[in-house]
Amino acid sequence: MTLVALAVSGLLMALPASANETVAPAGPVANTVMTPGYARAVAQMAYAWGWPLVNLQTRRMMYEQVPTIGLLGPTPVAPVNQLAMLSDYIDPDIRIVAHPNQDVVYGFGALALDKAPVILQVPDFGERFWMFELADQRTDSFAQVAKIYGTQPGFYLIVGPDWKGEKPAGVEAVLRSPTNTGVVIPRVFMADTAQDREAVQPLLNQIAMYPLSTFDGKIKTIDWKHLPRLPLPKAATDKPAGETRWVTPERFFAQLKRVLAEVPPLPGEESLYAQFRALIAAGEANPAIAKVLQDSAQQSEKDIVDPLFYLSRNGVRIANGWNRPFNNAAFGTDYLTRLAIAKSNIFENHARETTYLFREEDGDGQRLSGERSYTLTFPAGQTPPVSGFWSLTLYDPLHFFAANEIKRYSTGTKNKDLKYNADGSLTLYIQHQRPTEDKVGNWLPAPQGEFALTLRAYGPSDALIKGDWAPPPLVPGPQHH
């Protein structure tokens, strides 16, 4: 054997037998010098990745301060691992979650599963449409609890990723969240009639969530119409213009450090975690890098997050000028859509449960405005194909309801006075000026200025889920001067 052959043979013998034996660092080796330019690049990605998770962390911190179930202004709140329900449509003044609707009676509970597993009570809703959103800290859905799944009434145990134990007697199923922090959001359909407002109350009163330690196998009931009023914190006495600010750039990276410690990475995210941890460690060791992090957080909020508030930048452009996400609450590593929804309309249901379709601009790319009138006509038999219900909601530029003389913020299945045309089609009138009386039942009032539309389809058909069905065009009328 030649010397060259021996050398090559020795080299090959020194190499690992398989790629699996190669151990490379997931990120920078500890104490690697980090330049401001590199830190800035990683910080921007960290901000886009971590914004929804920090948002959920801040919400949990707020609910950890709630002493008991009650009303905080118009908002029902509960301590962590409990929930609070409304007894009617959401109040137009509520600012705790943007982009709400007035088709369902909402509830909200913050999960802290590292503290305790919790019991979720599901009443027998009969034929009424309902769903409970169970979302983890990434805002991904982690359980199927809804009419469309045939979920049985009863008790369900929600546990965190590290829980070990047997399903207690009397519990229907164990629902495991991949993160300890999360949310539970019941949605129960209610028609806009006095009769249905009354009929839904006994069902709402059986919705509850509480720690497993208090479970006795008996249904607990709460009269959600009569909750005690809690003192408002000084900062909350003034109604904010937009949604409550859940992510503060100045505190972002300190919170992100905790997120990385508490939320296990998805498969393939280990290298991202290592990069982000190295970035935070460099910021803690070097004041110059710490300043880069602060500056990057401020700039990323402005350049990355704020533009995603606009619904026209949410999801995929489809036919007739509408756009929509296809993977709501099933984001995985689609960080862009996760961030866009977290900023514009957080806590969407899973794509199998609800389709969301947005319209913010007219056919010429101009913002929808009350300076014009618009019509939306569904041909006969072509309203959104759903097993549940559909609605069209109008929002002001901050994604809240626009005040109007008839206090109507949405229209659709819940409205029993919609009038169909002689050919079976349905025309909705979206405008600021009150129409003639024969059209008022189909009127969705608009403000004088800019607005946006969201079409929701609960219990979407396969055609909706896959994108084979799209809303009709929005037809503009003459401009008003």
Give the residue-averaged pLDDT of 169-187.
98
Give how far the C-alpha of residue 23 lies from the chain's centroid of Cα atoms, to the nearest Å: 38
Q: What is the pLDDT of residues 266-310, one digit of tens each?
A: 999 999 999 999 999 999 999 999 999 999 999 999 999 999 999
- Statement: residue 456 has pLDDT above 80: yes
11 falls in which pLDDT band (50, 70, 90)? very low
User: Is residue 428 over pLDDT 50?
Assistant: yes
What CA–CA distances, in Å, run from 16 to 10, 11, 12, 20, 22? Answer: 12, 10, 8, 8, 7
Mean pLDDT of 325-344: 98
15 pLDDT band (50/70/90 cuts)?
very low
Examine the pLDDT at 385 and tell me if it is beyond 60: yes
Q: In the chain, pLDDT over 90 holds for what percent of residues?
A: 85
Tell me what pLDDT residue 365 has.
Answer: 87
**The two three-digit tokens of residue 315, written as one number:** 């999801």
- Is the pLDDT reported for residue 326 higher than 60? yes
Structure tokens at 324: 């929509």
Q: How far apart are the C-alpha atoms of 133 and 210, rounded to whole Å?
A: 16
pLDDT at residue 263 is higher than 80? yes
Query: What is the spatial distance between Cα 391 and Cα 374, in angstroms, rounded to a whole number?
Result: 17
pLDDT tens by residue, 122-147: 999 999 999 999 999 999 999 999 99
- Which is more confident, 314 or 5? 314
Residue 8 has pLDDT above 60, yes or no: no
pLDDT for 20: 52
Residue type, 78: A
pLDDT number for residue 10: 41
Q: How many residues does the chain have?
A: 481
Residue 478 — very low, low, confident or very high, per pLDDT cuts 50/70/90? confident
Residue 3 has pLDDT above 50, yes or no: no
Once rounded to an integer, what is the mean pLDDT over residues 155-180? 97
pLDDT over threshold 90, residue 6: no
Tell me: the pLDDT tens digits for 85-121? 999 999 888 888 889 999 999 999 999 999 999 999 9
Global confidence as pTM:
0.92
So what's the pLDDT on residue 277?
Answer: 97
Q: Give the pLDDT score at 390.
A: 98
24 versus 17: which is more confidently predicted? 24
- Assign residue 456 a region (left: φ > 0; alpha: ψ between -120 and 50; beta: otherwise): beta
Tell me the pLDDT band of 239, cut-offs 50, 70 and 90: low
Question: What is the C-alpha to C-alpha distance for residues 254 and 250, in angstroms, rounded to an integer?
Answer: 9
Give residues with Cβ within 8 angstroms of 475, minimum separation 6: 374, 375, 376, 377
Query: 35 near 199, Cβ under 8 Å?
Result: no
pLDDT at residue 393 above 90? yes
